């Protein structure tokens, strides 16, 4: 009898404790929220927060959860989630090479939008594509005639950048265009000698070499050691302006810009490899001029057909590509993904691939039961300041990917761990949440956002914190966000 009484009291005490925890936890979260939104660095900011329990679906904290705010690079969560849901984790890009069915003296390179050709992202040999293709054609193509090389890079059309990107970004490596053919991350290095303190830094060369590329050099020197140099220019133009300042006293110092015409550079580079392999290569052309000529023609015929594929170069699987996007915040890969999604939904190469991708994204998530009315996408990377989305939509997407998606583990594992890797390497380092948050960060001028998962013992949350137009410094805002998350 005493045992039964004691057990009953034990159950009552535990029930009371559980009730107290349920009552106290929300108040603790609200305290953390109040402390965050009243932080001096956020006095004039627009702040949106959404935190949801992954197990119960219960809202833990919400503040302006439905307000559309600029997401910066956390938009990549939407792009990568849609890509892996639509294409599958094992999707691979394929670049086919062979002889033209209508002209056996013309070698075709058919681009599929692969952003990984010659990419530095995976520490592979940057020239593997060229070596592989040259070796395959050396063995299969007759060497007793002259060939032209025609690069079919028209899959996404030639509007390779978002119309909403700003001039301050265009021409720089992080705003590289996305086309049916990509090479070397569509970026190059511009090298300077900065040892002469009495003159502008001297331009030495570009790597890779891009012939006919010219620079208006207005770069100055600094003594801070910081790289504040920027390259400005529009796609397919060989004129570039270089401004800002770079460290003095260096025999070689480099900044990065975007390759104006990646298809042509790939063609010229491949022609060199094929020549060294014993083939006689004449003209090198891309599909761009033919594409532009046919733009106003109602009846268009695809005349670029390979009679027999002689070589196919295959990319790494999509799960590795989205991991690169989310861990390193790779804009270039993200822009190819949104266009790949768009071209899958609309196969006509004269349909705007970016616009098609954006439309597909909204329709896709609406079909999954998410309210996508707050989402306004103008690219796949988050670089456009006009992008907007609500914290609630991002959190709802995270909840879906965690509990309902067949690609749940692939998506979760694509995110960097706080305090350990990628763009979150210094975030929450040396705190109890180091390694316990997997999230995407986002920052452009006046914007700081984080969105992802907090897995800490029994706490399993999806969260989004968005701050726009803050008046404090970025380090102050980051620290305030860290303290809020620790307060959960």
The DSSP string of 450-485 is: EEEEEEETTEEEEEEEEEES-SS-HHHHHHHHHHHH
Q: Strand 239-247 to strand 220-222: parallel, antiparallel, or no bridges (unpaired)?
A: parallel
pLDDT at 304: 80
Tens-digit pLDDT profile for residues 241-269: 999 999 999 999 999 999 999 999 999 99
Task: Write down the domain spans for the chain.
Answer: 32-88+322-487, 94-314
> What is the pLDDT, as a whole number, of residue 200?
87
**Element (DSSP H or E) covering residue 203:** strand 202-207
Average pLDDT value for the chain: 93
Question: Residue 312: which H helix or E strand, with range?
Answer: strand 306-314
* Sequential DSSP letters for 356-421: HHHHHHHHHHHHTT---TT-B-S-SSS-STT-BB-HHHHHHHHHHHHHT-TTHHHHHHTSPBTTTS
- Could you read off the pLDDT of 120-129 as tens digits, one per residue? 999 999 999 9
| pTM score of the predicted model | 0.92
Specify the pLDDT at position 6: 47
Let me know: does 75 contact 380? Beta carbons within 8 Å.
yes
The confidence score (pLDDT) of residue 20 equals 43
Return the CATH class of domain 32-88+322-487.
Answer: alpha beta
Pairing type for strands 280-286 and 103-110 reads: unpaired
Stretches in the chain below the pLDDT threshold 50: 1-8, 10-11, 17-24
CA distances from 370 to 153, 204, 225, 365 (A): 35, 53, 47, 6
Q: What is the pLDDT of residue 2?
A: 42
Give pLDDT tens digits for 414-465.
999 999 999 999 999 999 999 999 999 999 999 999 999 999 999 999 999 9
> Which residue in the block uniquely carries the two structure tokens 């609630």?
392
Question: pLDDT tens, 367-389?
Answer: 999 999 999 999 999 999 999 99
């Amino acid at each position: 009898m005493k045992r039964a009484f004691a057990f009953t009291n034990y159950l009552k005490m535990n029930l009371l404790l559980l009730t107290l925890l349920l009552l106290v936890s929300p108040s603790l979260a609200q305290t953390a929220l109040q402390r965050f939104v009243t932080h001096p660095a956020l006095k004039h900011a627009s702040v949106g927060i959404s935190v949801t329990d992954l197990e119960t679906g219960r809202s833990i904290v919400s503040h302006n959860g439905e307000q559309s705010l600029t997401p910066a690079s956390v938009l990549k969560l939407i792009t990568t989630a849609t890509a892996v849901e639509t294409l599958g984790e094992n999707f691979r890009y394929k670049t086919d090479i062979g002889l033209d069915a209508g002209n056996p003296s013309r070698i075709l390179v058919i681009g599929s939008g692969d952003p990984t050709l010659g990419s530095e992202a995976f520490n592979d040999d940057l020239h593997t594509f060229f070596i592989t293709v040259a070796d395959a054609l050396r063995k299969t193509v007759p060497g007793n005639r002259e060939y032209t090389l025609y690069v079919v890079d028209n899959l996404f059309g030639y509007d390779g950048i978002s119309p909403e990107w700003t001039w301050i970004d265009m021409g720089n490596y992080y705003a590289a265009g996305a086309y049916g053919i990509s090479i070397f991350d569509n970026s190059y290095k511009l090298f300077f000698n900065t040892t002469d303190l009495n003159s502008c830094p001297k331009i030495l060369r570009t790597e890779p070499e891009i012939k006919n590329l010219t620079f208006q050099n207005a770069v100055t020197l600094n003594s801070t050691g910081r790289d504040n140099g920027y390259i400005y220019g529009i796609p397919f133009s060989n004129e570039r302006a270089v401004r800002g300042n770079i460290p003095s006293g260096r025999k070689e110092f480099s900044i990065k810009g975007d390759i104006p015409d990646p298809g042509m550079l790939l063609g010229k580079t491949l022609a060199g490899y094929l020549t060294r392999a014993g083939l006689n290569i004449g003209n090198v052309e891309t599909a761009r001029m033919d594409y532009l000529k046919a733009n106003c023609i109602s009846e268009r015929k695809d005349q670029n057909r390979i009679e027999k594929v002689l070589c196919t170069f295959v990319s790494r699987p999509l799960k590795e590509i989205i991991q690169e996007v989310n861990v390193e915040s790779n804009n270039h890969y993200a822009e190819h993904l949104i266009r790949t999604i768009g071209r899958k939904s609309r196969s006509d190469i004269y349909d705007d691939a970016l616009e098609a991708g954006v439309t597909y994204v909204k329709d896709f998530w609406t079909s999954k039961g998410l309210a996508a009315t707050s989402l306004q996408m103008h690219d796949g990377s988050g670089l456009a300041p006009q992008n907007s989305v609500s914290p609630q939509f991002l959190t709802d997407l995270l909840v879906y990917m965690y509990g309902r998606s067949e690609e749940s583990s692939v998506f979760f594992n694509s995110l960097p761990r706080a305090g350990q890797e990628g763009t979150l390497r210094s975030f929450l380092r040396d705190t109890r949440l180091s390694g316990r948050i997997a999230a995407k960060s986002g920052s452009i001028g006046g914007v700081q956002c984080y969105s992802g998962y907090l897995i800490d013992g029994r706490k399993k949350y999806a969260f989004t914190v968005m701050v726009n137009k803050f008046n404090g410094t970025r380090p102050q805002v980051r620290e305030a966000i860290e303290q809020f998350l620790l307060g959960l």
